[in-house]
Amino acid sequence: MRRRLLLPVAAAAVAWPLVEPQLPVLRRLRLPVLAAGAGPVRVLHLSDLHLLERHARRARWVRRLTATRPDLVVSTGDHLSSVGAIDLLADTLGTLTADGTPGVFVPGNNDWFTPVRPRLGSYLWGAQRRPREPDLPWGLAAAALVDAGWVDLRQRRTTLQVAGRPVVLTGTDDGHLGRDRYAEVSGRVDGLALGVTHTPVRRLLRSFADDGHALVLAGHTHGGQVRLPGVGPANHNCDLERARARGLSRLSPRAAWLHVSAGLGTSPYLPIRLCCRPEATLLELVAGPEERG
């Protein structure tokens, strides 16, 4: 009896990492960052779509997120895996802003560079191939998103009306590629302010926190993509502590919050996930007893 069960159990274990990427989940979190008496602000955080032309199912799932009725949508990069997906990207994200909901975005490393086939060692130990010249037309993709009602936040600080209140948004290019240049947008912020970037590199997170941002949104890590029970992410491809490879954490006591999305896609050359379902997150910012220093 045990031998008869062994083969299907083993087959399921081998197949599951290929199935899990097809099972996205919407996570919901409440975050006490607003002053007493302030009404809630609902922020939908997307990241790492890695769209190809064939990803119609993933696109449909994202479009259905209009049902969450967010006050603001933030996309933290790695939107594309090929130039042929630009139209699909603009149509998909355009659905989320079609009713006038504000949306902001920044690019990730794979918005500039076509994904390359990884070696096992580069995935497990983080050894990276030397960057090439950018070969994806990110400028065309960004223009398509702007035409669809989104705000390009790359190297920019702006204030938007969100849920009837002003929200400061500061965004950068990708820190993994060293393109962030935070000094171009630095300066102390007042009121509710959100930092937006792709890779959560620590030097950049410190800069956002030092300037008074209440929350920093990032992606890039895929949550590790492969998470081993009792160990955590096999690799997260940045200098952030592995315990923060996905989800919500404090950058330091009484300082900014950080939310790292595990993202919705994968590399086309490594289309697997284990113990790390693809995700989008609805963050409800609410009034709370904490006072930030």
1 belongs to a structural domain: no
Alpha carbon distances (Å) from 17 to 21, 134, 139, 172, 221: 7, 31, 34, 33, 17
**Mean pLDDT across 187-193:** 95
What average pLDDT is seen over the chain? Answer: 90
Please give the pLDDT value at position 126.
Answer: 53
Alpha carbon distances (Å) from 283 to 28, 29, 201: 6, 5, 21
Residue carrying the six token digits 């940045």: 238
Residue carrying the six token digits 């890779």: 199
Output the 3-class SS for 186-242.
CCCCCCCEEEECCCCCHHHHHHHHHCCCCEEEECCCHHHCEEECCCEECCCCCCCCH
| pLDDT tens profile 208-230 | 999 999 999 999 999 999 998 87
20 belongs to a structural domain: no
176 belongs to a structural domain: yes
Which residues constitute the domain of residue 166? 28-115+132-287
Beta-ladder partners of 247: 260
- Total domains, the chain: 1
89 belongs to a structural domain: yes
Chain Cα centroid distance, residue 22: 18
**Mean pLDDT across 48-66:** 97
**Mean pLDDT across 162-174:** 97
Residue 174: is its pLDDT beyond 90? yes
pLDDT confidence band for 122 (50 / 70 / 90): low
- 175 HSE (CA, 13 A, CB side): 26
What CATH number does the domain containing 74 carry? Answer: 3.60.21.10
262 belongs to a structural domain: yes
Structure-model confidence comparison of residues 126 and 100, the more confident one: 100
127 belongs to a structural domain: no
Dist CA 132 CA 113 (whole Å): 8
β-pairing, 193-196 with 165-171?
Answer: parallel
23 belongs to a structural domain: no
Residue 292: is its pLDDT beyond 50? no
Q: What are the strands of the beta sheet with 103-105, ordered from one edge? A: 25-34, 279-287, 41-46, 72-75, 103-105, 150-152
Q: Please, are residues 145 and 89 in contact by the beta-carbon 8 Å criterion?
A: yes
Global pTM reads: 0.92
Dist CA 71 CA 164 (whole Å): 9
Residue 16: is its pLDDT beyond 90? no
Residue 142: is its pLDDT beyond 70? yes
Please give the pLDDT value at position 36.
Answer: 87
Sign of the dihedral through C-alpha 191, 42, 150, 249: positive
Dist CA 66 CA 54 (whole Å): 22
Beta-ladder partners of 170: 157, 195
292 belongs to a structural domain: no
Residue 131: is its pLDDT beyond 60? no
